Amino acid sequence: MHHQRVSRATGVIWITGFPGSGKTTVGRNVVRALDDLGTRSIFLDGDDLRNILGHKWGYSPEERQDLAKVFFRLSGYLSAQNYTVVIAAVAMYDSVFDWLRANVPDVMQVYLVVAEDIRRVRRARRPMPTTPGAQARAGGGKKYQVPSRADLVIDNSGAHSPSHAAERIVAEYMSRRALPYAAQIAHDGT
């Protein structure tokens, strides 16, 4: 009988990037890869969380930063309950990153890099949100700071699949926890 090894890795994997960089798609692939390893994981999406919280925050840089801290408090809370939290959220501000590092243990920030012309094409394929402030949200990157201290930077322009990006993220995440991804795959026989 095959017994799946259950990883005790917990923490927060923050996947960030400009709108249209593929955060949600890659994040869902990360959760699948973690689940395959027996790691208890949960996926949170910044747009979904904003909807769940009833659009109480606007789209100014200050409001975005305040909301990001709410997201990451929730992420820390879930992580403390033995989950690896994968959160896909823009929230690209140095102050948010600093706050997160100071307040939530075991955080890994992943920055997805995608050229503006590719992001524009991707965003055009998605229906425009009809939520309050959606036009302000669609403005793109003028309001954000490119992460200068990301733990992992991945070009997600399309040369590799989202599952390949997820594999890189999981390998890096597990290596930081002394739980080598390759060793877990070998142990599971896959």
Q: Are 172 and 152 in contact (CB under 8 A)?
A: yes
Length of the chain equals: 190
CATH of 11-188, one of 3.30.2350.10, 1.10.150.670, 3.40.50.300, 1.10.287.70: 3.40.50.300
> Which pLDDT score, from 0 to 100, does residue 1 have?
37
Measured in whole angstroms, how far is the alpha carbon of residue 20 from the centre of its chain?
Answer: 13
SS3 of 21, please? coil
pLDDT number for residue 4: 47
Q: Tell me how far the alpha carbon of residue 108 is from its chain's centroid.
A: 9
Predicted local distance difference test score (pLDDT) of residue 85: 97
From first to last of the 190 residues of the chain, give the pLDDT tens digit: 333 444 567 899 999 999 889 999 999 999 999 999 999 999 999 999 999 999 889 888 999 999 999 999 999 999 999 999 999 999 889 899 999 999 998 999 999 999 888 888 877 876 655 555 544 454 444 578 889 899 999 999 988 899 999 999 999 999 987 654 444 444 444 4
* Per-residue tokens: 13: 């994997």
Cβ distance 30 to 171 under 8 Å? no
The residue whose two tokens read 């590719």 is 118
Q: Give the C-alpha separation, 84 to 176, whole Å.
A: 13
CA-to-CA distance for 138 and 132, rounded, in angstroms? 12
Of residues 22, 46, 37, the one with CA closest to residue 162: 22
